[in-house]
Chain A
Amino acid sequence: SQELEQSPQSLIVQEGKNLTINCTSSKTLYGLYWYKQKYGEGLIFLMMLQKGGEEKSHEKITAKLDEKKQQSSLHITASQPSHAGIYLCGADGQGGSEKLVFGKGTKLTVNP
């Protein structure tokens, strides 16, 4: 079955610093989704990537899917305390399955 590995597991940065979170799949990605979760709350959809080499941005967050479609990165520029939370990547299941699988998440802390 497909697995998504996120790194790092946790990250502490100073406000204003840039950071990158990675999501690596055990199989080719056909749909990769990034979500943000505040502690104990529901997930909020950030971005979807489907094509190799695709890059999308929203405010100060940029996500990319590599050409081989097995890895995605989420980059935050000039981080702010409002960026703090848990970032999860999700992917479409394989083999025609309609399942969704998620990575275990990356906990981001931004210190003022």
Chain B
Amino acid sequence: EAQVTQNPRYLITVTGKKLTVTCSQNMNHEYMSWYRQDPGLGLRQIYYSMNVEVTDKGDVPEGYKVSRKEKRNFPLILESPSPNQTSLYFCASSFNRGTQYFGPGTRLTVL
């Protein structure tokens, strides 16, 4: 089954404790992306990747890191999480930018 998986689905952590949210797709897509969704602010792109070893900043990259060492994986790293990074995070992948497959989401709470 074609899908994008994210782990964990829910995470509660404390300020400053490094965390990684994994994202994996099984469709051989080149384009992958991370978004955060917040009430009143909508869906905002954090980082995207056009292919292996090619990543670029979206609109809200501050406080996040990503890597693309393999085509199927695109982890999101928060080196020192802060409460303003509490959000619902989505990973997505596609052959081209717009027709994306989204993961189920990761709900992160930073205390």
Tell me the A residues contacting B by CB distance below 8 Å.
1, 31, 33, 35, 40-45, 48, 88, 90-92, 98-105
Contacts and interface: CB of A to CB of B under 8 A. Distances in A.
Contacts, number: 67
Given A31-B97, A98-B48, A98-B97, A42 B40 contact: no
Interface of B: 4, 31, 33, 35, 40-45, 48, 50, 56, 58-59, 88, 90, 92, 97-105, 107
Contact of A42 (B42, B98, B105): B105
Query: Looking at chain B's contact residues, is the secondary structure mostly helix, strand, loop, or mixed?
Result: strand
B102 A101 contact: no
Contacts of A41: 104-105
B41 A104 contact: yes
Contacts of A103: 42
Nearest to A47: B99
Contact of A100 (B33, B88, B105, B107): B33
B103 A42 contact: yes
A40 B105 contact: yes
Given A40-B105, A42-B103, A99 B45 contact: yes
